[in-house]
Each structure stands twice: as C-alpha cells, then as structure tokens.
Amino acid sequence: MTIIEIKITGMTCEHCAQSVQKALNSLAGVNASVSYEQAYARVEMQDGVNSRQLLQAIEQAGYGAVLSNPEVSLQISENDDKLHIAIVGTGSGAFAAAIKAVENGARVTIIEGAEVIGGTCVNIGCVPSKIFIRGAHIAHLQAHHAVVGIPLNTPTIDRRAMLAQQQHWVDKLRYAKYESILQSNPGITLLRGMAKFKDKSTLIITKNDGTEQEITADRILLSTGASASVPDIPGLPDTPFWTSTEALTAEAIPKHLIVLGASVVALELAQAFCHLGSEVTILARSGLLSKEDPAIGSALKAIFEEEGIRVMLNAAVKAVSYEGEQFKIQTDKEEIRGNQLLVATGRSPNTATLALEKAGIKTDKHGHIIIDDHMCTNIDNIYAAGDCTNQPQFVYVAAAAGTRAARNMTGEDVAIDLSVLPTVVFTDPQVASVGLTEQQAKAQGMVAESRTLALDNVPRALANMDTRGFIKLVAEKDSGRILGCQVLAHEGGEIIQSAALAIGNQMTTTDLAAQLFPYLTMVEGLKLTAQTFHKDVKQLSCCAG
C-alpha cells in the first residue's frame, strides 16, 4: 500500500470535494479522502495502481491535479527497466527534452529548485516582456500616430492593471505549456529541490526542508538556464537597482529611468518605459547592439533620441549610490541622477551550484557548460541545453537543443545546425538579423557586396506612414549567393524568417528578386532589396516583378 497526496485546483465548495472523492474511490484499489479547505486529496493505493490514473480521474471530474509528493511516484518506479533520464531544470529546453525522451521510451525525472516551473521565458522573460512591450507600444501609438482624423491622446497608465493582466497570461501559459504536461504525461516525474553532482551518474537533491535524496540516472541533461549578471561597480550592490525581473513586475512607472546596458533587454525595456511616460537615459559601454551591423546601432540611436531617450555612448560607469530616493551614477563624463536604475548588462549561466567538478564537466571561463553539436558535454552520459551552455541564448535554440539531446540520449544520432539563426530585438522598429553581416563576411575572407534599401521605397511602409529603418542584404559578389540580412523595420521579426529560408536554401539575389511577394506587405521589401543588386527600384511601378 502506498500513500500519496494530490493538490487539487478548481474546487469552489464542499460538493466539489465530494465529487472528486467519489471519482477517486471509483478506481479499484483506491481509498481517498478529499479536503476542500486544504485543496488536496490523501490517497491510499494498492500496488498496481498508477498515479496517472488518479490524476486522470480528477481531471475527468473537471478539476486540476498535481502530485504533492512526486518523489513517491519516483520510488514506485525505481525498479522500472526503462532508460532513466534525469533533467535538471524545467524551462523550454528541459521540457522539450522530457517530452521527446518519453516518446522515445525513456522515463524522466525532472528536477526543479525554484517555486514555479517553466524557467525564464514564460515566467520572467519572453512572455511577460512582450506583453509589457505590447502595452507600451499601444500607449505610444495613442499619442504619436500619424493618421489624420483620429485625435491624439496621451493615456493615463494604470500599471497595476497592466501587471495583473500580464501575470494572468504568464500563469495561463505556464499551466498550458508546462504544468499541464506534468499532469498528462505519466512518464515525467517532478522532483522539487536543488541538484548537484555526487558523481557522473548520481545527483544529490536538497529539498526545501533540508533533507537530501540521491537520484541515479542512465543519462543526465542539464538545462538550468541563466540569470541576470550584475557588473562589479563600486556602490551598486548597496542600492535598490532593478534587473529585468524587477522591472517587469514593478507596480509603478519611474519618473526617470537610467538604463545600464545597450543590448537586447536593455533597449527593449528602455523604449517600453519611455513609451509609458518615463524619462529614460541609456548608458552604453560602447554602441547600441554592438554585435549587430554598425548601421543598426546608429539608426536605432537616432530613432530613440527622436522619441526623447537620451543615449550616452562609450560611457564608463565609475560608481553608483542611492540617496534620498535618487540614484547617482558617476560616469567618466558626468554624473547622472534618476529615481530608478535598471541594470541589463547580460546574463550568466546558472551552473555554480551544480558541483560540476564532481562529474568532471568542462565549462568556459564564464561558467557556460561546453557542449558539441549533439549537446553532449565532455562526459559521455551528460548532456546540456539552453542558456547554461555555450550555445546562443535564445529560447527556440534551447527547445531545439533539448529535443535533439533527448533523441541522442535515447539512441539516435542528430546534430543541431545553428548556421542559419534568425534573431529579433523587439524595439520599435524591430531589429532582425540572420547570417553574416558585411563585416563578418569580409573577415572570413569572402568577397562580399551589399545593398541597403531605405523603407521609403517599400509601399507598405509608406502606407503605414512609418518609414523608419532599412533592409540590408549581403551577398557573395561573384555568385550572388545571399549570405546575410539585417533589418530595422516595423515587423522586422516577421520579415527575417523569409531571409533565413533564402539563405538556408542557398538562394541568390536573382532567385529572391524573382519570387512572388504579396502586396502590400513589409516582407516585399526583401524582394525590392534583392532587385537593387540589378536595377534601380525607384524606376519600377508598384508590384513590379
């Protein structure tokens, strides 16, 4: 006889509890009691009863259910002869791997030390930030659109209401994409606690109550993600600065926000807060988006300054202090004062607590786990995926890596191809890129040429009354083969995938120029840019093929 506890959601009265209890006790070998006040069921089940049967019975009665003590389920299945995979982390890479591993016949123990599952993207990254940015964009449009006949309006911002809606969607998506998978997939067992290596096949799990449990697995996948890194600046640790996590959950819009950083997160949030009414100052160590084509940073700086954002390039921060609800930022140029500071200077891998040395796992100088294109570490039974590795830090890379890692851990032989990797920065206009910049192509010894098309040549941009930005194509000079594309445009993220497909399929500028693109669309700008390698598009009529 085994006793387990199940957390139940959705009950609103004692009658609900009675309905759940009846559903559970209808199963052979089950004796259950359900408490409405405590929102849980205590279940005695005979050998041969699967915990998944209990969860299904509760779900079929119309309620949600999660095992409170999933380690019991783990103990029940210890003698299972299936390949056992332990996964540390519960983000997109971890779940993609868990699902695929179970599909391939393995049983999975997934380990999480945080209060909520789902990792960065759904909880504190992609999902809440894009909801926040969307709201800020709508507020900005009300006060700055160019359509005659619709009065401009500076809206009153209720940040608490925005935050409540934002969190509602975070909770909803976390349940749909993570929590419900645990409920519906009996091959995945969740174990709560912090994991570290004992040896290359054994993990020690430290639970919240301080007790420890050892897990031995045939294969181990590390998918622990990354956290905001904080630069070593005198005085900074003693101030109430924000990282992106605090910025996205703040209940008020700061009067003057100082942003330390000039990469993706820094620029997305800087502009969003500007659109919601903050005065914003950006302190950039070098240029904006310094890893992109220099033209991107220059154009984006001009756009930001037109919106009222102050951008200080090549600014070295010497010290930070906080006095009287004011931040003082001492740079090598001048002192900047504001009532809030956002530090967005990159992210560091969550690997320090894993005791990687116990398993002999190699990392780079920043702590990223070094993996090959099969997601394998230098230890043959240990794999890694996502932001804790030396691969690019994008959620879609993590998910693709997780799936392929699972396939390799279960006997397949698949690599991940990151040679054509489209990226997007959700500023307005958006920054999107894929392949090589002109500078990168030439650095690799290629004879390359490029064409840049201003958006006032794109009919849809004219119709949108927003011609800020450009589309740039880089091609091999002799063959015309497309090597890269850089975009600064409204809906740039929707444009870039077509460029990625063109590069992935070895298309030339002639090939791309001959394609049919729908009119009026922003992506038609790709065709027009390809045409500029061979003709003057200003001399063409609309939709000219």
Number of neighbours of residue 192 by Cβ within 10 angstroms: 17
Using only C-alpha atoms, the chain has a radius of gyration, in whole angstroms, of 27
Q: Which is catalytic among the residues 1, 40, 45, 63?
A: 63
Angle in degrees, CA 126, 499, 535, rounded to 5: 140
Q: Confirm whether 485 is a catalytic residue.
A: no
**Token representation of residue 431:** 């920054």
In contact, 465 and 458? CB cutoff 8 Å: no
Tell me the HSE value of 508 on the side-chain side, using a 13 A CA sphere. 9
Q: Which is catalytic among the residues 36, 126, 322, 396?
A: 126
Strands (E) across 382-518 are located at: 382-384, 423-425, 430-435, 448-454, 470-476, 482-489
Q: Which is catalytic among the residues 40, 45, 121, 409?
A: 121
Q: Which is catalytic among the residues 36, 274, 446, 543?
A: 543
Q: Which is catalytic among the residues 11, 162, 446, 507?
A: 11
For residues 478 and 481, what is the distance between their CA atoms, to the nearest angstrom?
8
What's the 3-state SS for 260-297? ECCCHHHHHHHHHHHHCCCEEEEECCCCCCCCCCHHHH
**Residue 315, φ and ψ in degrees, nearest 5:** -100, 120
Q: Confirm whether 388 is a catalytic residue.
A: no
In contact, 92 and 395? CB cutoff 8 Å: yes
For residues 237 and 235, what is the distance between their CA atoms, to the nearest angstrom?
6
Q: Confirm whether 543 is a catalytic residue.
A: yes
DSSP strand pairing (226-228 vs 482-489): unpaired
For residues 120 and 110, what is the distance between their CA atoms, to the nearest angstrom?
16
Q: Confirm whether 13 is a catalytic residue.
A: yes
**CA 9 remoteness from chain centre:** 28
Q: Confirm whether 121 is a catalytic residue.
A: yes
Active site residues: 11, 13, 16, 63, 121, 126, 542-543
